[in-house]
């Protein structure tokens, strides 16, 4: 959650930029997915958690139909009109905010002009969903500013639509859902087909600096390459698996509908690569369900083991890991007190997530960067994360 110092800095920045006091300040968190990777577009299950890295927005209404935005992190300003929300090739950072404005208007919500300052501490490009945090924070600020009745689920869907249709990124619903619906000290179980959710308590886990088990995110400092082309290829391979399996399993529409046992029965009929892709998705869905059971019973050891199995599947069957991710995972697991570690996000760079007993966090922070640097020559960033609430209005 934002500290009062961070909020006051943002509001002071607003006063400096626009010469007036903001009316509303809102926030939305980034996220890390604990388990359930590449299952979302297969109608499967995911288990993300909102983390204490967030985007903040201070805003004030105008008397005209202009929108004035200032991005404090980039020191960039842009202006557009509510009647003509267009892409701006030189201000691509603002497409997320523009998209949210446009989607609200398309759904019939009445907006006026406004001015806003945006800042935050969600690392960009690290796979912690800074884009969804921007969208949800902006949507939360706008709805508060104009008194709009938009439920969190509606807001998440609207923000996903903005990213899909305006920004042009074919993302799933997970990132916006957890940013809007997260709960402190809980993970969010999300059924990506029905959009049903369940808050899962992280028993035995606690906030940074406390004695309980910690969620530690490690950034490889490797920019995620090949994601778009390989992502599209993986989707096509999953669709091919469904097409072929439907000969023997009539009625299936996604790998979500296939059990590990049924997949194994037809392994010989599938091309080897297609079978491995399907095996990851099918077993990953099973791991998410088992993880929910483990967390509900407070069995963090079993949950950590499932995280390890997830990484092996992502590396061997789905082939979206890279050496740097594997080095970070291996280094993490060498530390006594690390219960599990895996890559998180789309892959080909980005971050790992580890479940670390509280007394082992300091050793993790000392040893993992050292081992990673020795093998890769790169300096990782380490974030000890606290599970936090979803989007909210601060002032």
Active site positions, annotated: 175
Instruction: Report the length, in residues, of the chain.
Output: 395
* Residues forming beta bridges with residue 47, ordered by sequence position: 35
Query: Using N-to-C axis directions, what is the helix angle for 130-145 and 95-106, rounded to 10°?
Result: 50
User: How many CB atoms neighbour CB 241 within 10 A?
Assistant: 28
Would you say 363 and 215 are in contact if contact means Cβ atoms under 8 Å apart?
no
H-assigned helices in the chain: 4-18, 95-106, 130-145, 152-161, 174-181, 227-245, 260-265, 272-296, 300-316, 323-333, 361-376
Residue 357 dihedral angles phi and psi, to the nearest 5°: -65, 145
Closest to 355 measured CA to CA, from 315, 299, 280: 299
Cβ(121)–Cβ(104) below 8 Å: no
> How far apart are the C-alpha atoms of 98 and 215, rounded to whole Å?
33
376-393 residues labelled b (16+ CB within 10 A) or e (exposed): beeebebbbbbbbbbbbe
Residues 234/320, Cβ–Cβ less than 8 Å: yes
Tell me the CA distances in angstroms from 54 to 7, 175, 253, one per residue in order.
Answer: 11, 13, 36
Query: Which two three-digit tokens encode residue 338?
Result: 């690390």
Q: How far apart are CA 135 and CA 19, in angstroms?
A: 25
Calculate the CA 107 to chain-centre distance.
Answer: 25
Structure token digits, residue 279: 């095996």
- First-to-last alpha carbon distance for the chain, in angstroms, is 13
């Amino acid at each position: 959650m934002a500290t009062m110092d961070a909020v006051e800095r943002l509001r002071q920045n607003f006063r400096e930029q626009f010469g007036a006091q903001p009316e509303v300040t809102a926030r939305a968190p980034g996220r890390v997915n604990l388990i359930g990777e590449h299952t979302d577009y297969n109608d499967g299950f995911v288990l993300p958690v909102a983390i204490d890295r967030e985007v903040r927005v201070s805003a004030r209404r105008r008397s005209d139909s202009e929108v004035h935005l200032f991005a404090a992190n980039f020191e960039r300003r842009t202006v557009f009109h509510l009647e003509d929300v267009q892409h701006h090739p030189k201000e691509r950072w603002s497409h997320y905010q523009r998209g949210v404005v446009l989607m609200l208007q398309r759904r019939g919500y009445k907006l006026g002009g406004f001015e806003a300052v945006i800042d935050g501490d969600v690392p960009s490009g690290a796979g912690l969903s800074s884009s969804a945090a921007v969208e949800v924070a902006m949507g939360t600020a706008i709805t508060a500013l104009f008194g709009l009745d938009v439920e969190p689920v509606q807001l998440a869907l609207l923000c996903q639509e903005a990213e899909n249709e305006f920004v042009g990124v074919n993302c799933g619903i997970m990132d916006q859902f957890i940013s809007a619906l997260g709960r402190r000290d809980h993970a969010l179980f999300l059924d990506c087909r029905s959009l049903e959710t369940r808050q899962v308590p992280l028993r035995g886990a606690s906030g940074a600096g406390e004695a309980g088990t910690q969620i530690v995110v490690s950034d490889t400092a490797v920019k995620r390459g090949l994601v778009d082309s390989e992502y599209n290829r993986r989707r096509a391979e999953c669709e091919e698996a469904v097409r072929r399996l439907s000969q023997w399993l009539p009625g299936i529409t996604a790998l979500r509908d296939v059990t590990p046992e049924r997949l194994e029965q037809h392994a010989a009929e599938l091309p080897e690569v297609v079978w491995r892709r399907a095996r990851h998705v099918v077993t990953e869905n099973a791991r998410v369900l088992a993880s929910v059971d483990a967390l509900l019973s407070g069995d963090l050891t079993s949950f950590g083991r499932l995280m390890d199995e997830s990484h092996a599947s992502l590396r061997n069957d789905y082939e979206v890991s890279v050496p740097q991710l594997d080095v970070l995972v291996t280094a993490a697991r060498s530390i006594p007190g690390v219960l599990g570690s895996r890559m998180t996000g789309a892959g080909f760079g980005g971050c790992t997530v580890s479940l670390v007993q509280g007394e082992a966090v300091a050793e993790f922070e000392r040893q993992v960067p050292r081992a990673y640097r020795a093998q890769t020559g790169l300096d990782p960033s380490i974030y000890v994360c606290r599970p936090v609430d979803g989007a909210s209005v601060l002032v």
